[in-house]
Amino acid sequence: MSTTRTITGIAPAIAEAIDQEMAQRTDIVVLGEDVTYWGAVFGFTMGLFQKYGRDRVIDTPITEQTFMGMAVGAAAVGLHPVVSLMFVDFLGAGFDQMYNHMAKNHYMSGGQFAMPVTVLTAIGGGYGDAEQHSQVLYGLFAHVPGFKVVVPATAYDAKGLTISALRDPNPVVIFGHKLLTGLPFLPFEGIADEPVPDTPYTVEFGKAAVRREGRDVTLVAAGLMVHRCLRAAEQLAQQGIDAEVIDVRTLVPLDTATLVASARKTGRVLIVDEDYQSFGMTGELAFRIQADAFDALKAPIRRLAVPDVPIPFSAPLEQRVIPSVERIVAEAQALFGAPARATAR
């Protein structure tokens, strides 16, 4: 019988999802840097080594190219590797195996070889970890055909989406924001004591969540930015602006229908992203929304993302480039007062 108890943060939720699937299946193995005693540093694999031992939870050297290649080979012979890429910033060290093999082997083999690999990686800034440990970069993976791209914002979603990934025959990359992990050594901006079922369940890929309903403006985001949009919506409500907040949950597949329906309802859309602005999520979502809702827009779509600069170490500069609640409020206010340049036909 399923019961619900509370969890704070996505890290214990992801670890629980992997644990419950490993208990039922012998094909799942976990590998990467510090996945044993350190739980992949950000807690995504904590407790698994103590329960399943070194045969199924395997520490590797700092060799992303090697352990990503090990995962590709293991998947080809029937295993389901869970691979920890500790910081997404280091994807370049293993990207050939990911880009040219993990993402393509199923297609290139004419469907002979499935590639069931789940990649876990920590993303995001906001705590002074500087240029090489603070990026998001999910836009790079969403750009490559063959990957599914998952960005959980809540513990409930983190568990359900991880189990969906572990039951998927394709490569799935799960991007866990550090400020949502719930670990004591990091700031936390997620939901404290969130109700989560203790039994396994799935959350379907490609289904966005409407986190807050509204009628005046649509705020679209993923991961940490969902929570900042929700706080911005509360401030906007005090000013008489009723904001709807949509959590995309997965970039690939993307729930375009929910985005378009909200845009057609409110007529105003602000897309908020912690990834770099140029050629990223904001531009892709804006195009897809306008393609099916242009006649309903009361103003051009706006976006708020990281400008095309590295994430600074300096706290004031870092706060300046990563979208804050205050800047989301200001952009939404500007959008609400913007003249209508898109006219209905």
Instruction: Please state the φ and ψ torsions of residue 111, each to the nearest 5 degrees.
Output: 85, 5
What is the distance in angstroms between the CA of the first residue and the CA of the last residue of the chain? 54
Catalytic: which of 21, 33, 64, 331?
Answer: 64
Cβ-contact 183, 42 below 8 angstroms: yes
Annotation marks residue 177 as catalytic: no
How far apart are alpha carbons 208 and 218 in whole angstroms? 13
Beta strand pairing status for 148-150 and 250-252? antiparallel
3-state secondary structure of 310: coil
Question: How far, CA to CA in Å, does 31 sit from each of 53, 57, 100, 120, 153?
Answer: 12, 6, 20, 10, 24
Q: What is the DSSP string of 171-201?
A: -EEEEEEGGGS--TTS---S-TTEEEESS--
Catalytic: which of 101, 133, 177, 227?
Answer: 133
Cβ-contact 50, 66 below 8 angstroms: no
Buried b (16+ CB within 10 A) or exposed e, 82-111: bbbbbbbbbbeebbebbbebbbbbbeeeee
Annotation marks residue 133 as catalytic: yes
For the annotated catalytic residues, the residue numbers are 64, 133
